[in-house]
Structure 1
Amino acid sequence: MGRYLDKDLLRGFDSYKYSSLDTSPFSNYVMHPFWNWFLKLVPKNIAANTLTFVGFLLLPVSFIILSYYDYDFSKNSNIPRWVWLMCAFNNFMSHTLDGIDGKQARRTNTSSVLGELFDHGLDAWSTSFFAMAIFDIFGRGEWGASSIHLLMVLNAIQCTFIFSHWEKYNTGVLYLPWAYDLALVGMTLAYALTYLFGVEVWQYDIYYEGQRYTVGFLLECLLYISNYAMSVPVCIFNVLLSYKNGTGKMLPFTESIRPLIPIVLFFPLITLWGAYSQTGILESHPRCFFLLSSVLFASITTRMIVNQMSGTRAQAFNWLLIPLIIFTPICTLYNVDVYEVYILYTYTGFATLAHIDYGQCTVKEIADYLNINVFSIAKRPAKDKRI
């Protein structure tokens, strides 16, 4: 028995079959042909998981460098032009490697449940890095948004991601959103334009019937419409349709919504802390606050994906939320002065290390169970008996 996955859960992976549906014209007629061409440049001895992991690492690299030059999202005009070019490259390569990892697995005949879990588990974290990239370009203040607005944008993007996987938990099919590839390509273009023309290219107003609107505000509204009025309702509709047609897992209602319980707890608490902190912690330390949000979200979502793929019951609570439950009322009702900063950074560091530990242990446990290598296509010696 491993540290996180018991025998019954591991055995559940034996019967798992990957099923997805991508009906996006942009993905099918633009991105996939490009990825098929790019794949020819990749040596066959490189494991698909290596591509996945390298693509993910490019995003925190951009995050760290941007943090060095503009820690609180208020000095993006001071960021050197070469940083934006690097971010464009990192974003492009991350998206590309994420697009070809599955193709490389099939090309090398190394497809496995581990590869999908590895891919989607890292996607659960990288989603937040993509969101924070938007904040770096627009920043805060006159041309950007307040920190609480940025947190709400992050919540909206995270909400769409987890609802897509909740949809799969109930239907068995991952319906890939049309906007996903478009958004990532758009992000690369935004970085490139910022490199060519500076952040000033986004700093202009739009007037309508005498009202002044910033570009950042309009994009924020567009994002809310895309996520809350389109993507999430479609996920719910697909789940309801699967139950009506008898094609879903036909779980009882309480079991079907069980994976959402931790997220229903997480979103209000993280928003309350950020909005009503007595010391204004979100305004003074936004990047760390967003990083904490991204780690907690990734932890919740990755566990749900593990349960979905193994056919086991979803967890109704994530223990990493315990400090959030304790600290939110304390920091919103009382002015704990500088101690709130210590709380935030300690909690972020602890949650990050805990999530990394869960990820690497889970990957190792599944790899040992399947008797495969994580970052190599070389075969392991056959085992006489599995777990």
Structure 2
Amino acid sequence: MFKYSIFQYYNDSFACSSNHHGQVGKHVFNDGFYSGACIELFQFNWLAGCTEAYLDLLRNKKPKLDLEEMGYIGAHGVAALHKYKYSGVDHSYTAKYVLQPFWSRFVKIFPLWMPPNMITLTGFIFLLTSALLGYIYSPRLDSAPPRWVNFAHGLLLFLYQTFDAVDGKQARRTNSSSPLGELFDHGCDALACAFEGLAFGSTAMCGRTTFWFWVISAVPFYCATWESYFTNTLILPAVNGPTEGLMLIYFAHFFTAIVGSEWWAQPFGKSLPFLSWVPFIHEITTYKAVLFLMVAFAVIPTLTFNVCNVYKVVQARKGSMLLALAMLYPFAVLLGGVLAWGYLSPADIMGNYPHLVVVGTGLALGTLCVLDFEQCHFKGLGRMILAHLCDEPKGLKTGMCMSLLYLPFAIANALTARLNDGVPLVDESLVLLGYCAFTATLYLHFATSVVHEITTALGIYCFRITRKEA
């Protein structure tokens, strides 16, 4: 079939006539079809299933948007964005009977001119403020902050949960729902794992163990995103992290404001005497016991739920479960690299600079990619979400991600200390600052580029409800 020779897309000045129930739609432009243009159908294989997509081609005018220059979305992605609709299921009884009625009333405090993404961003700033408070009063997260700080951690987390829940309701109130809203929401959530992990580390005086509290929040989030990439639906079980998990954490903050952070440093059997009979964990510090209990009763069941749902989809499409599981490889590489760096570090980066380690790794998670998805350039958690929004084909091809390139140099620098009487080639505090700057730059580039591309493709603004004029 004839392959298009000019690859241009116009969003603001055409009328779209799409058959959303069929396999293929077509765009009819205001001034007719450009002479000689053709529409070629592309079929993408998703684990032996086919997704048919269409490409919208050109008019004989100066282009407003060149798809060849769109580094993250591309032609197929633009077409899919126009058809995309959010799909999510929340089985939480707490959300249904307690929080949803509250959220439905709370959203009414926002004026109708308030854009949903501004609500999302405000909620994220609450967690950023919480993490900054923790740093000010406990730079190494191993000393007790004032009790009002613990209360502030709980209040700010509660506000984050509330704002994160009502942004979608505000979008429906103002008729401004869009794929950008979902990407913006989940992009902030990816970073929220890091900042709330630091806030809890401040409350419980976790010190170097704070990194592991980030891990047990990031793993379920990454796997839930991986699951929705295959199922096309975000499925939250009856007990889930965004609802009961966050409630448990901010109640822990409020409880600590009463008893003091020292409670977490006691042996578990002393903090909770009625559980002193439990072998092994009754002798370890309370925050470590809580970490083990969360892994056993929250993280592992959640991951099992995610894997089972993906397995059902893969089996139904007669695909490869091994290939699907391979998409979890990026996170394993990131985690392994940071742990290796922490183990070899002569400066004990986990204990002395927990904020830099968690923030830098949290930013890396947002743009993480060791494997490119076949036929697309979307990478990592943020790009996995983007690929889901744009209906990109589900597959794999190898390729190193920029956000992981820093770790080999950091590990090599730590190794030089073993050859130089414990002194690394470059001071590790500077290496950590460079790590944060590097991952922050990548994340900001990804975020700003994608926001620009989606707003241009859909003819909308990120922080305004009105549509762009043609």
Above 0.5 in TM-score? yes
For the residue of structure 2 that corresponds to 1:302, the secondary structure is: helix
**1:278–1:333 CA contact under 8 A, matched in 2:** no
**2:204–2:261 CA contact under 8 A, matched in 1:** yes
Partner of 2:285: 214
Partner of 1:359: 447
Give unmatched runs, 5+ long, in structure 1: 141-145
Identity of aligned residues (%): 25
Offset of 1:347 from its aligned partner? 1.6
Matched, 1:179 2:240: yes
Partner of 2:309: 238
**2:314–2:320 CA contact under 8 A, matched in 1:** no
For the residue of structure 1 that corresponds to 2:328, the secondary structure is: helix
Letter in 2 for 1:58: F
Whole-Å separation in 1 of the counterparts to 2:338 and 2:265: 30
Offset of 1:358 from its aligned partner? 1.5
**1:279–1:337 CA contact under 8 A, matched in 2:** no
For the residue of structure 2 that corresponds to 1:380, the secondary structure is: coil
Partner of 1:224: 295
Offset of 1:157 from its aligned partner? 1.8
- C-alpha change, 1:333 and 1:151, in structure 2 (3 Å) is farther
Give unmatched runs, 5+ long, in structure 2: 1-68, 270-275, 369-380
**2:413–2:426 CA contact under 8 A, matched in 1:** no
For the residue of structure 2 that corresponds to 1:311, the secondary structure is: coil
Letter in 1 for 2:94: F
Cα deviations by residue, 1:137-161 (Å, 9 ceiling, x for unpaired): 1114xxxxx61x4323322221111
Matched, 1:293 2:361: yes
Cα deviations by residue, 1:189-218 (Å, 9 ceiling, x for unpaired): 222223334223444431336952332122
Whole-Å separation in 1 of the counterparts to 2:248 and 2:86: 28
Whole-Å separation in 2 of the counterparts to 1:38 and 1:4: 36
Letter in 2 for 1:379: R
Letter in 2 for 1:116: E
Partner of 1:339: 427
For the residue of structure 2 that corresponds to 1:40, the secondary structure is: helix
Letter in 2 for 1:179: N
- C-alpha change, 1:203 and 1:277, in structure 2 (3 Å) is closer
Matched, 1:380 2:468: yes
Letter in 2 for 1:183: G
Partner of 2:390: 310
Cα-Cα RMSD: 2.3
**2:77–2:390 CA contact under 8 A, matched in 1:** yes
Offset of 1:228 from its aligned partner? 4.1
**1:273–1:331 CA contact under 8 A, matched in 2:** yes
**1:259–1:304 CA contact under 8 A, matched in 2:** no
1:103 to 159, 169, 176: 169
Matched, 1:59 2:147: no
**2:413–2:425 CA contact under 8 A, matched in 1:** no
Matched, 1:88 2:118: no
Name the TM-score, length of structure 2 as normaliser.
0.74
Cα deviations by residue, 1:103-153 (Å, 9 ceiling, x for unpaired): 11111111111111111111111122222222111114xxxxx61x43233
**1:170–1:251 CA contact under 8 A, matched in 2:** no
**1:303–1:315 CA contact under 8 A, matched in 2:** no
Whole-Å separation in 2 of the counterparts to 1:109 and 1:255: 39
Whole-Å separation in 2 of the counterparts to 1:224 and 1:272: 21
Matched, 1:16 2:84: yes
Offset of 1:285 from its aligned partner? 1.3
Tell me whether 209-218 or 29-38 shows the greater mean CA deviation. Answer: 209-218
Whole-Å separation in 1 of the counterparts to 2:338 and 2:234: 27
Letter in 2 for 1:241: K
Cα deviations by residue, 1:9-63 (Å, 9 ceiling, x for unpaired): 3333233232111111111111111111211222222111111111011111111
Whole-Å separation in 1 of the counterparts to 2:284 and 2:402: 42
- C-alpha change, 1:277 and 1:307, in structure 2 (3 Å) is same
For the residue of structure 2 that corresponds to 1:102, the secondary structure is: helix
Partner of 1:143: none
Partner of 1:191: 253
Matched, 1:165 2:225: yes
For the residue of structure 1 that corresponds to 2:141, the secondary structure is: coil
Offset of 1:89 from its aligned partner? 2.2
Whole-Å separation in 2 of the counterparts to 1:29 and 1:163: 27
Specify which structure has the bigger relative contact order, considering alpha-carbon pairs within 8 angstroms and separated by 6 or more residues.
1
1:328 to 411, 434, 447: 411
2:205 to 120, 125, 139: 139
Matched, 1:43 2:106: no
Whole-Å separation in 1 of the counterparts to 2:97 and 2:133: 34
Whole-Å separation in 2 of the counterparts to 1:203 and 1:289: 22
| Count of residues in correspondence between the two structures | 371
**1:153–1:223 CA contact under 8 A, matched in 2:** no
Whole-Å separation in 2 of the counterparts to 1:80 and 1:337: 38
Offset of 1:74 from its aligned partner? 1.4
1:74 to 118, 128, 142: 142
Letter in 2 for 1:287: H
- C-alpha change, 1:280 and 1:202, in structure 2 (3 Å) is closer
